[in-house]
Amino acid sequence: MSPDGSTAPDLGTSSTGMQPNVAAALSYLLGILTGIIFFVIEKDNRFVKFHAMQSILVWVAVFVAYIVLMFIPIIGWVIALFLWIGVLALWLFLMWKAYKGEWYKLPMLGDIAEKNTQS
């Protein structure tokens, strides 16, 4: 709920031609690819840019963690399997939060995304 009591927060307009909440949710859809696309094409809306940057950072962190785990025989491979299950849940959660119009910040990565999208 937005501060004025309405159920749909006012997210402004997006230079993508989409509703900002849809563009923000789509920035998570194909991971780093859509994150980069929306970060580059969005010129005006900070909400969309924030979620696009957070998407990029999440997928870079997941990729790095996965690579590190692949160098640890057996136990690392098992942990990597559970990592992907957690990543799937996180991916759906972040898309849902963005679609609802929420500025949901992940610990550390959300702060970095916020700093990189300030005017």
Q: DSSP labels for 25-40?
A: HHHHHTTHHHHHHHHH
Residue 112 CA from chain centroid, whole number: 12
Q: What residue ranges do the domains of the chain occupy? A: 20-114
Biggest alpha carbon–alpha carbon distance for the chain:
54
Low-confidence residues of the chain: pLDDT under 50: 1-6
pLDDT of residue 27: 97
pLDDT of residue 8: 56
Q: pLDDT digits over 31-59, tens only?
A: 999 999 999 999 989 999 999 999 999 99
pLDDT of residue 119: 63
pLDDT of residue 7: 54
Q: Which of 83, 56, 51 is nearest to 69 (CA)?
A: 83
pLDDT of residue 28: 97
pTM of the model: 0.86
Cα–Cα distances (Å) from 9 to 6, 12, 16, 33, in that order, read: 7, 9, 18, 27
The whole-angstrom separation of Cα 58 and Cα 110 is: 9
Under 8 Å CB-to-CB from 83, ≥6 apart: which residues?
62, 65, 66, 69
